[in-house]
Amino acid sequence: MKASDTRRLKRCDIDLTLLGMGTAPLGGLYAPVALADARAALQAAWDSGIRHFDMAPMYGLGRAEHLSGELLREAEPESFRVSTKVGRLMTFERPGRTLPPEPPKNEFDSGWHNGLPFREVFDYSYDAILRSYDDSRQRTGLGRLDILFVHDIGRVTHGDLHDHHWSALTKGGGFRALQELKSAGLIAGFGLGVNEWQVIRDAMEEADLDICLLAGRHTLLDADAETFLPLALQRDVDLVIGGVFNSGILASSSGRKKFNYVDAPPAVLAKVERLEAACRRFDVPLAAAAIQYPLRHPAATNVVIGAKTAAQVTQNVSWFEQAIPDELWHALEADGLIPAVPSRSAAEASPA
């Protein structure tokens, strides 16, 4: 399996490389990233054959889109694919403008260490979706955006405000705006980009989704989405899998102890030790197993991984392309560390 290998999306009529470049770290996630390092990381991804770049207005409050566009504007227009997100508008304080109070930080928002001087305002309405599309086109300077993900809709993110934002997306025309963009040929497809699979399930009843990004819920450590994956397969909704290192703990158990953006609890640390011990028996780095694991399920289409430096990109590609014996997966299943993976026919036959 090569990072540059491609897979055709079921409903979007485009290909994505099996490994995509996530750009959240370039916005200063957890720590600042120097401009030279960010540019080198993007170039390393391109040089490795990665041609799917996933970004969002949120990442560095516009910084990731600016940096990614700088690289991609110089490439042949049809030689890469871009996904970005809608649901947050970037704005700023000025005399005469009253901005809504900043929402309380949710558990998935770590802040940005060298983001741009803007403030985010959540808005999932018809007009806001169209404005977000235009803003991302301008920040990236690209003539085409391939995929739009509705970013961080869900109760975990919004708490008591979820019903308000959900109404804007459904009754307020947010989904309608996305469908119009697709019908006009301005995007190839749309869906949700979230940490909560339950809201993808709910959205499937409201709109004809094409592709969704699910972060941190289909990993070696977190099988929370196991019951949802067959539904996505049945509905022909492609799944981009993010957060495969669960905020870093699976990239190196001796390094960052974050799990899903917060400090890892003892039970998670203990499971990581068991996973690493099993991988060691087969001479496989834990991170290689983590980055390849999601694609074992037929519902998963590709994996996106973030990186801060060229060296991290190169390491991620090496882990992704490392040969892993089937015996390791069988051992992890036998030990109850991962669920058994169904065949494609079995998954498609599972009840929704």
> Could you give the 3-state DSSP secondary structure of residue 307?
coil
> If you search the block for the tokens 């834990």, which residue do you land on?
286
Helix (H) or strand (E) holding 139: helix 126-140
Region 30-51 average pLDDT: 97
Q: Can you give the CATH number for the domain in which 297 is found?
A: 3.20.20.100
Domain carrying residue 57: 6-349
Neighbours of 192 (CB within 10 A): 28
Task: Identify whether the C-beta of residue 21 lies closer than 8 Å to the C-beta of residue 307.
Answer: yes
Residue 109: inside a domain, yes or no? yes
Task: Identify whether the C-beta of residue 258 lies closer than 8 Å to the C-beta of residue 247.
Answer: yes
Residue 304: inside a domain, yes or no? yes
Residue 127: inside a domain, yes or no? yes
Whole-structure pTM value: 0.93
Residue 159: inside a domain, yes or no? yes
Region 191-202 average pLDDT: 97
Active-site choice (37, 54, 152, 210): 54
Residue 134 has pLDDT above 80, yes or no: yes
- Residue 333 pLDDT: 97
Residue 1: inside a domain, yes or no? no
Residue 264 has pLDDT above 80, yes or no: no
Region 169-196 average pLDDT: 98
- Residue 352 pLDDT: 46
Among candidate residues 84, 185, 176, the one with its CA nearest the CA of residue 125: 176
Residue 167: inside a domain, yes or no? yes
DSSP string for residues in 32-65: ---HHHHHHHHHHHHHTT--EEE--TTTTTTHHH
Q: Regarding beta strands 189-194 and 211-215, do their DSSP bridges make them parallel or antiparallel, or are they unpaired?
A: parallel
pLDDT in tens, 116-133: 999 999 999 999 999 999
pLDDT in tens, 211-253: 999 999 999 999 999 999 999 999 999 999 999 998 788 986 5
pLDDT band at 40 (very low <50, low <70, confident <90, very high): very high
Contacts of 187 (CB under 8 A, 6+ apart): 133, 145, 146, 147, 148, 178, 181
Neighbours of 263 (CB within 10 A): 12
Neighbours of 167 (CB within 10 A): 13
C-alpha 216: how far from its chain's center?
A: 9
Has 54 been annotated as catalytic?
yes
Active-site choice (15, 37, 59, 208): 59
Active-site choice (85, 152, 210, 293): 85
Helix (H) or strand (E) holding 280: helix 266-281
Has 238 been annotated as catalytic?
no
- Residue 164 pLDDT: 96
Tell me the C-alpha distance between 93 and 132, whole Å: 18
Tell me the C-alpha distance between 291 and 281, whole Å: 18
Task: Identify whether the C-beta of residue 316 lies closer than 8 Å to the C-beta of residue 19.
Answer: yes
> Could you give the 3-state DSSP secondary structure of residue 231?
helix
Task: Identify whether the C-beta of residue 21 lies closer than 8 Å to the C-beta of residue 54.
Answer: yes
pLDDT in tens, 79-109: 999 999 999 999 987 777 777 776 666 665 6
Tell me the C-alpha distance between 127 and 169, whole Å: 11
Question: Per residue in 228-257, is it b (16+ CB within 10 Å) or e — as a string?
Answer: bbbbbbbbebbbbbbbbbbbbbbbebeebb
* Count of domains for the chain: 1
Residue 202: inside a domain, yes or no? yes
Task: Identify whether the C-beta of residue 260 lies closer than 8 Å to the C-beta of residue 245.
Answer: no
Has 59 been annotated as catalytic?
yes
Residue 94: inside a domain, yes or no? yes
